[in-house]
Structure 1
Amino acid sequence: MASLLPRVLRALEQFHATHPWDHNAHYHRQILRRLPRRFDSALDVGSGSGDLARLLASRAGAVHGIDIDPTIVARARELTAPAAPVTFTVGDVRKEMPPGRYDVITCVATVHHLPFSEALARFRQHLAPGGTLVVVGLYRPRSRTDRLIDAVAVPSNVAMALIKNRGRRSPRPTSMTAPTRPAAMTFADIVGDARHALPGVRLRRRLFWRYTLVWHQR
């Protein structure tokens, strides 16, 4: 059994290399369900190729995306219609957040690149009264519950890859070309720090090695 596991993992890696799908984009519609039907302004932190920012623009008067990678920001601008109320800038939110306060702040698969508590404090500072913060983040599995979710996620991941790629080999989506890094914090650590920084925050584990964090500014 021990010798079989590495071969299974290698086979899965090869499969997903030829049948890639964007785990983060999978949660974009869930993010929209947690937001008002209309709002004035939104900030998408770690906006990547701009897929979520363009979705937010269907409800917002103005959307601003910020990402540290100039190549992916350039691609986001190319993919965005000139008339869309969306702008993108290259920037490092560890040093400076875009000025102003926003009705909605989103952050997908980015906060684990940042000092976690400091990032949440910055988001809170720039969230307008009555505004909503939604984070989709990654965590490091450690507990028995984490392992059980992982056990369900692996076959579900294969099924989703087949469905989204219609069983065919597919190129890697533009949204998946940005640099990545593994998560360092466990879900328990994330919950503890988030509850300290954002009283009343709601967190939930999700499939595909993600969690959601939702908080409303009073």
Structure 2
Amino acid sequence: MKILPPRVLRALERFNAAYPWDHNAHYHRWILRQLPRRFDCALDIGSGSGDLARLMARRAAAVTAVDSDPGITTQAQKLTPASLPVTFTVTDAAAEFPNGPYDVITCVATIHHLPFAQTLASFRRHLAPGGTLVIVGLSRAQTPVDYLLGIPAIPANAAMGWLKNKGRPSPRPVSMTAPTRPADMTFDDIVRETRKVLPGARLRRRLFWRYTLVWRRP
């Protein structure tokens, strides 16, 4: 099912290339609102350029930030002041999950690259009692409702790009060099699998083709 004809989609792609902005960073402040004011250890899976890890480091005693992309991890290290308690590591979380326990675990636009149920189980295992897990993920649109929910994001995406760049075309920010792939699970699939592994988790569809998941370990 197509929302827009190919010609319009190509025009939007050109607009987004001229006025780029980070859809994931849009949710960073929301993520912080889900977390305690102060906590000891945090883990950020898929840390990218380190923006979220640096924000959490202002509340945490230590933040471990892992990403599978060496290039973006190097950039993250360069952008991070030595005064912040962040350790950046190149790690494939699917093969070697960083040992916890952690008071906070975050994962933004990354879990669709990992085996979903196994990764949730790893999060549960390495989250400290009373700890908080926050995921911002991508799902595959399947139903008419999914596509209809994506429609408001189209003009909002263009408006945000224009505002973030103050109406001036800008070069794209530093991006990952590792291969990416689209999400293959629908939102209903995600909800069903999450309920099995993390009972009581809160999931919600979000703007800009994202969903959120919040779980607090008893």
Would you call these one fold, judging by a TM-score over 0.5?
yes
Q: Aligned equivalents of 2:179 and 2:78: distance in 1?
A: 19
Q: Which amino acid in structure 2 is aligned with residue 119 of structure 1?
A: T
Q: Which amino acid in structure 2 is aligned with residue 10 of structure 1?
A: R
Q: Which runs of 5+ in 2 are unaligned?
A: none
Kept in 1: contact 2:69–2:176 (CA 8 A): no
Q: Equivalent residue for 2:29?
A: 29
Q: Which amino acid in structure 2 is aligned with residue 33 of structure 1?
A: R
Q: Equivalent residue for 2:45?
A: 45
Alignment partner of 1:189 is 2:189: yes
Q: Aligned equivalents of 1:177 and 1:59: distance in 2?
A: 30
Alignment partner of 1:212 is 2:212: yes
Name which of structure 1's ranges 167-176 and 77-86 shifts more when overlaid on structure 2: 167-176
Q: Equivalent residue for 1:74?
A: 74
Kept in 1: contact 2:62–2:85 (CA 8 A): yes
Q: Which amino acid in structure 2 is aligned with residue 209 of structure 1?
A: W
Q: Aligned equivalents of 2:7 and 2:72: distance in 1?
A: 34
Tell me how far 1:5 sits from its aligned partner.
1.4
Deviations 1:145-193 (A, max 9, x none): 2111111110111111111111110111125666432111000000000
Tell me how far 1:144 sits from its aligned partner.
2.1
Q: Segments of 4+ in structure 1 off by > 3 A?
A: 175-179
Tell me how far 1:100 sits from its aligned partner.
2.2
Distance of aligned partners of 1:118 and 1:214 in 2 relative to their CA distance in 1, 3 Å threshold: same
Kept in 2: contact 1:22–1:175 (CA 8 A): no
Alignment partner of 1:152 is 2:144: no
SS in 2 for 1:14: helix
Q: Equivalent residue for 1:173?
A: 173
Q: Aligned equivalents of 1:155 and 1:179: distance in 2?
A: 28
> What percentage of residue pairs aligned between the two structures are identical?
67
Q: Aligned equivalents of 1:169 and 1:70: distance in 2?
A: 28
Cα RMSD of the aligned pairs, angstroms, is: 1.3
Q: Equivalent residue for 2:108?
A: 108
Q: Which runs of 5+ in 1 are unaligned?
A: none
Kept in 1: contact 2:71–2:177 (CA 8 A): no
Kept in 2: contact 1:139–1:186 (CA 8 A): yes
Kept in 1: contact 2:58–2:84 (CA 8 A): no
Kept in 2: contact 1:101–1:127 (CA 8 A): yes
